């Protein structure tokens, strides 16, 4: 990592020369002329339609932002008749706080915003959402609200660009949004260190970050384009952003209490910087600062503060050394995360190999007329020992994956389920029988379902939710919902997996009942009848594999002991051996 660089300056130059940034500001400038300067503090919304682009602008009437730093807890939104943002919550952060003035402005135009969101979702057009000052806060809230309704794998991603906006929420909100990498990349916040509004809710002491002191209840998220007359650079690390936004804020405390009324002209700032982006200034670095990462960070800061030498930069701003160290840590952290992502891809390939081995193991067991459940339970072959290693790899991977999803916000978890639920379901149906086999081999007489591993429970729960969602969607579209097993399910029953991954736990419990004394068995007779009905229902829906009828399977061992009433459907199927037809996709239960 010794040759690592920070690309904030290069990204800033790309943004400065991009059309969306300047088109957004032009839209704000045009809409500003329509705002009544004498009106009470209200929210103004305007939509500008271009050829392939829609720009939605949020502005407020002139208003004082002094004393508007109050935060409101998300868990109280409903009782206060405020819009619901609970979809952002996760297990680690069940609530968060948002600026009270911003959420109330949002709520004041809720009906109009709801119609606007619906229109955007239907049109699937390219949208830029922008706002200035407190209007930028509302633009941020609207973008989050819109993202909750979009499927980003299909819809065009909206882009939110704010200018001179105060921070919107607390550290818990930032942590919630950190679980939405696809969402946070939609936000660009443009702020000048000469504009007092972005730093209004922050501590006047930026060096507090270096001592571990809380700078503010507010925390930033997204990408920040921090500017001055001298230059600009992009930052994503929250602590670094706080220190830079809070720069020189001590002097701002003496300004007019009506700060926020003035309209900082970002057009006059950005246009010269755009021209400057095409030119390369010569910057003199001290010998000790010529390490690639440190040099790139210092160059970014020098661009903002307008100094030609690294030594002059460090003399001008006493907290710069702290900031440089923080930014270096952040860049190293990002590098580690990228390495983990690369390792995760390799791990996923290993998981696929493990699943292929289990498929082979399943076929091998069938050729031995025992089925992979009982073959693993008995562990008589070398392949049974080998499968132990693959079982461990798969279990570790999916336990970690499920735990990660459980801690994600509701919306992000849903996105995960869409991408990975099929793989998780295949894993559960293939692997859980092996867990059950191990359980009953070591814990005869216990109830597996009462001690079932959590990740299996959640994977099954999420599948059910997804299936219910699909059915509801079909009904909404007026489509016919199939009742009973599909034709393809019957045709592929021989190569499929049992739907209920706890099937063999039911078999083991039925075997335990059959092995009890005659008197105890008579008392449990109803449970055995219920199990027989459970099997018939699974056969009727082609929800169980034909492997259960293999000669040496535990199910066949159960039937030999049970045999039940000779008049039942299951007795007929077993006696006539019509279960051989079941493997061919023939309906044997009516």
Whether the CB-CB separation of 240 and 320 falls below 8 Å is answered with no
Compute CA 139 distance to the chain's CA centroid, rounded to the nearest angstrom.
21
| Least confident among 160-164, 218-222, 330-334 | 330-334
Residue 541, in any domain of the structure = yes
Instruction: Say yes or no to pLDDT of 116 above 90.
Output: yes
Residues 415 and 519 in one domain: no
Residues 442 and 590 in one domain: no
Q: What pLDDT shows up at residue 196?
A: 87
More confident residue, 231 or 314: 231
Residues 23 and 100 in one domain: yes
Residues 392 and 451 in one domain: yes
Residue 205, in any domain of the structure = no
Q: What pLDDT shows up at residue 409?
A: 60
Domain total in the chain: 3
**Strongest mean pLDDT among 44-48, 138-142, 304-308, 416-420:** 138-142
Domain that residue 112 falls in? 8-30+42-199+219-239+257-276
* Type and span of the H or E element at 187: strand 187-192
DSSP 36-76: -TTS-S-EEEEEEE-SS-EEEEEEE-S---TT---EEEGGG
Q: What pLDDT shows up at residue 104?
A: 94
Residues 446 and 510 in one domain: no
Q: What pLDDT shows up at residue 272?
A: 85
Query: What are the start-end ranges of the H helices in 260-319?
Result: 266-277, 292-305, 310-316
Instruction: Say yes or no to pLDDT of 536 above 90.
Output: yes
Residues 353 and 376 in one domain: yes
In this prediction, residue 212 has a pLDDT band, given cuts at 50, 70 and 90, of: very low
CA distance 232 to 271: 12
pLDDT mean over 22-41: 84
Instruction: Say yes or no to pLDDT of 307 above 80.
Output: no
Instruction: Say yes or no to pLDDT of 286 above 60.
Output: no
CA distance 564 to 425: 33
Q: Domain containing 60 — which CATH number?
A: 3.40.50.1820
Whether the CB-CB separation of 546 and 552 falls below 8 Å is answered with no
What are the pLDDT digits (tens) for 311-322?
555 555 556 777
What are the pLDDT digits (tens) for 237-268?
888 888 787 765 444 444 444 444 457 899 99
What are the pLDDT digits (tens) for 336-352?
565 554 454 556 666 77
Residues 352 and 398 in one domain: yes
Residue 190, in any domain of the structure = yes
More confident residue, 421 or 82: 82
Task: Provide the 10 A C-beta neighbour count for residue 36.
Answer: 10
Q: What pLDDT shows up at residue 412?
A: 46
Residue 249, in any domain of the structure = no
Instruction: Say yes or no to pLDDT of 395 above 80.
Output: yes
More confident residue, 375 or 414: 375
Q: What pLDDT shows up at residue 7?
A: 62
Instruction: Say yes or no to pLDDT of 411 above 50.
Output: yes
Q: Which residues make Cβ contacts (< 8 Å) with residue 552, sequence separation at least 6?
A: 368, 369, 370, 371, 374
Q: What pLDDT shows up at residue 167?
A: 94
pLDDT mean over 45-63: 88
Q: What pLDDT shows up at residue 206?
A: 46
In this prediction, residue 102 has a pLDDT band, given cuts at 50, 70 and 90, of: very high
| Least confident among 23-27, 81-85, 308-312 | 308-312
The sign one gets for the Cα dihedral 519, 523, 526, 528 is negative
Residues 519 and 472 in one domain: no
Residue 574, in any domain of the structure = yes
| Least confident among 278-287, 311-320, 492-501, 580-589 | 278-287
Identify the domain boundary among 481, 512, 537: 481
Number of helical H runs and strand E runs in the chain: 25, 11
Identify the domain boundary among 481, 503, 535: 481
**Strongest mean pLDDT among 248-252, 288-292, 450-454:** 450-454
pLDDT mean over 480-486: 72
More confident residue, 37 or 200: 200
Residue 321, in any domain of the structure = no
* Type and span of the H or E element at 466: helix 454-476
The sign one gets for the Cα dihedral 515, 516, 519, 525 is negative
CA distance 249 to 67: 16
Mean pLDDT of the chain: 81
Residue 397, in any domain of the structure = yes
Whether the CB-CB separation of 85 and 97 falls below 8 Å is answered with no
Residue 314, in any domain of the structure = no
CA distance 141 to 514: 62
Residues 452 and 553 in one domain: no
Q: What pLDDT shows up at residue 561?
A: 87
Q: Give me the percent of the chain exceeding a pLDDT of 70.
A: 79
98, β-bridge pairs: 72, 169
Look up tokens 């904030």; give the residue: 8
pLDDT mean over 279-302: 58
Q: What pLDDT shows up at residue 12?
A: 84
Q: What pLDDT shows up at residue 332?
A: 63
How many C-alpha atoms does 79 have within 13 Å on its Cβ side?
5
Residues 132 and 20 in one domain: yes
Q: Which residues make Cβ contacts (< 8 Å) with residue 534, sequence separation at least 6?
A: 506
Q: What pLDDT shows up at residue 355?
A: 87
pLDDT mean over 330-334: 68
Residues 466 and 569 in one domain: no
Residues 57 and 189 in one domain: yes
What are the pLDDT digits (tens) for 62-89?
777 878 889 999 999 989 999 989 888 8
Identify the domain boundary among 481, 513, 537: 481
Q: What pLDDT shows up at residue 130?
A: 97
């Amino acid at each position: 990592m010794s040759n690592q660089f920070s690309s904030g300056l290069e990204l800033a130059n790309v943004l400065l020369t991009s059309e969306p940034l300047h088109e957004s500001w032009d839209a704000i400038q045009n809409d500003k002329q329509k705002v009544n300067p004498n009106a009470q503090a209200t929210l103004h919304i305007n939509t500008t339609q271009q050829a392939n682009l829609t720009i939605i602008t949020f502005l407020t009437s002139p208003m004082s932002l002094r004393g508007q730093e109050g935060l409101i807890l998300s868990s109280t939104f409903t009782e206060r008749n405020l819009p619901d943002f609970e979809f952002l919550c996760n297990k680690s952060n069940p609530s968060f706080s948002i600026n009270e003035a911003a959420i109330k402005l949002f709520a004041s135009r809720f009906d109009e915003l709801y119609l606007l969101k619906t229109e955007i979702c239907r049109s699937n057009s390219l949208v830029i959402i922008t706002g200035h000052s407190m209007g930028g806060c509302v633009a941020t809230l609207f973008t989050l609200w819109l993202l909750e309704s979009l499927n980003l794998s299909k819809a065009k991603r909206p882009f939110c660009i704010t200018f001179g906006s105060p921070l919107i929420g607390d550290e818990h909100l930032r942590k919630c949004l950190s679980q939405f990498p696809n969402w946070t990349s939609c936000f660009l916040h443009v702020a000048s260190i000469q504009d007092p509004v972005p730093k209004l809710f922050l501590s006047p002491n930026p060096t507090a970050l270096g001592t571990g002191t809380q700078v503010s209840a507010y925390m930033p998220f997204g990408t920040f384009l921090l500017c001055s007359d001298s230059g600009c650079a992009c930052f994503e690390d929250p602590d670094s952003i706080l220190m830079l936004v809070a720069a020189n804020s001590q002097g701002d405390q003496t300004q007019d209490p009506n700060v926020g009324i003035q309209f900082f002209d970002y057009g006059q700032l950005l246009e010269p910087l755009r021209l400057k982006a095409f030119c390369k200034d010569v910057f003199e670095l001290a010998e000790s600062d010529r390490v690639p990462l440190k040099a790139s960070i210092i160059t970014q800061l020098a661009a903002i503060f307008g100094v030609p030498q690294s030594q002059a930069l460090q003399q001008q701003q006493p907290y710069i050394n702290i900031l440089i160290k923080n930014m270096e840590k952040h860049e190293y952290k990002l590098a580690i995360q990228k390495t983990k992502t690369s390792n995760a891809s390799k791990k996923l390939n290993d998981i696929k190999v493990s699943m292929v081995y289990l498929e082979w193991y399943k076929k091998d067991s069938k050729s031995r007329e025992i089925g992979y459940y009982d073959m693993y339970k008995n562990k008589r072959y070398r392949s049974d020992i080998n499968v132990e290693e693959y079982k461990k790899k798969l279990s570790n991977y999916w336990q970690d994956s499920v735990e990660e999803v459980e801690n994600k916000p509701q919306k992000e978890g849903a996105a995960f389920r869409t991408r990975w639920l099929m793989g998780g379901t295949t894993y559960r149906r293939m692997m859980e029988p092996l867990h059950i086999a191990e359980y009953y081999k070591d814990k005869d007489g216990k109830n597996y379902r009462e001690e079932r591993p959590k990740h299996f429970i959640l994977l099954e729960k999420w599948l059910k939710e997804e299936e219910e969602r699909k059915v509801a969607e079909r009904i909404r579209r007026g489509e016919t919902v199939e009742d009973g097993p599909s034709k393809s399910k019957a045709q592929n029953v021989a190569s499929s997996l049992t739907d209920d991954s706890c099937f063999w736990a039911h078999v083991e419990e039925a075997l335990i009942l059959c092995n009890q004394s005659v008197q105890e068995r008579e008392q449990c007779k109803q449970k055995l009848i219920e199990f027989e009905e459970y099997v018939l229902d699974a056969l009727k829906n082609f929800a169980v594999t034909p492997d259960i009828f293999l000669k040496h399977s535990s199910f066949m061992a159960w039937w030999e002991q049970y045999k039940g009433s000779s008049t039942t459907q299951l007795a007929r199927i077993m006696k006539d051996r019509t279960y051989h037809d079941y493997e061919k996709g023939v309906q044997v239960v009516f």
